[in-house]
Copies of this chain bind each other. A is one copy, B any other.
């Protein structure tokens, strides 16, 4: 097995976030699932966009956000995801490449357009996401660069991609390629509703040892294990994955590895502006530590630092100099 030349290669939805603040009443009026991610069709996208205030557009996508964080920390990363050949596709491709991430998936011609996520941010900083998957759901298994996957230390996959059929097939193939090359597979559960839809698949992948590193938040842990009590769920799941990382919002995060439990508090921040990308950036910091051989407790701290940065401003991509933040905190 040759030394990998990429640290993390990720497959994810290629999405541009369309974000605006809103009052709590709007979430209720349109029956949105507060704090969740809901897939929407064209008609609903128009309805919600019409109701949205003046917005800003910032590249997003869960796994892509994670890579943006890792690249900002100095990591060598590659992304696979499907944009359309349109202006938002150009924006997504520009932003990910400008962050120093290798991105070679060709844009898809014609309809549907590039994926966008309408994100309503309530005064408490909570984000409610409405995703129009567009071109992203047509990532063909053939778009996979299996040589690149075999050449990466970690293959990182987002649970969100389990919804559309073509990317799901592509991910299964990617897992086989990574495993065949002796690489690690990291997976993020993404959202409790995704688990409601695909929990059986996720549990099967865990049982068969396909997942080496599993990221979840406390709600997803409960959804996956069926245990509402955090510790019960953690203890039930931990023996099935070599490295389990669970974030708990303001309560910090926990990792389970080799039968041991590691824990960090959340980093203090002045104000939660927008929680979009909190989990994605936690994963960025953690994975950065992991691929660079840091001990688990330090990986957790790195995750907490990156998550704190991203929730202190609008948008799910880091804005501050993450390298400097980490250096200031860890020395």
Q: Which residues of A are at the interface with B, using a C-beta cutoff of 8 A?
A: 18, 20, 49-50, 52-59, 68, 86-88, 91, 94-96, 98-99, 113-114, 315, 317
Contact = CB atoms under 8 A, between A and B. Distances in A.
6 contacts: A50-B94, A52-B98, A54-B95, A55-B91, A56-B57, A87-B113
A315 B86 contact: no
A57 B16 CA distance: 10
Nearest to A17: B56
Contacts of A95: 54-55
A272 to B, nearest CB: 16
Contacts of A91: 18, 55, 57
Nearest to A71: B54
Contact of A87 (B59, B87, B96, B317): B87
Contacts of A99: 53-54
A273 to B, nearest CB: 11
Contact of A56 (B54, B58, B88): B58
Contacts of A87: 86-88, 113-114
A120 to B, nearest CB: 13
B54 A98 contact: yes
Chain B CB within 10 Å — which of A57, A98, A114 has the most? Answer: A57
Given A54-B68, A56-B57, 7 more contacts: A18-B91, A52-B94, A54-B59, A54-B317, A55-B98, A56-B315, A86-B87
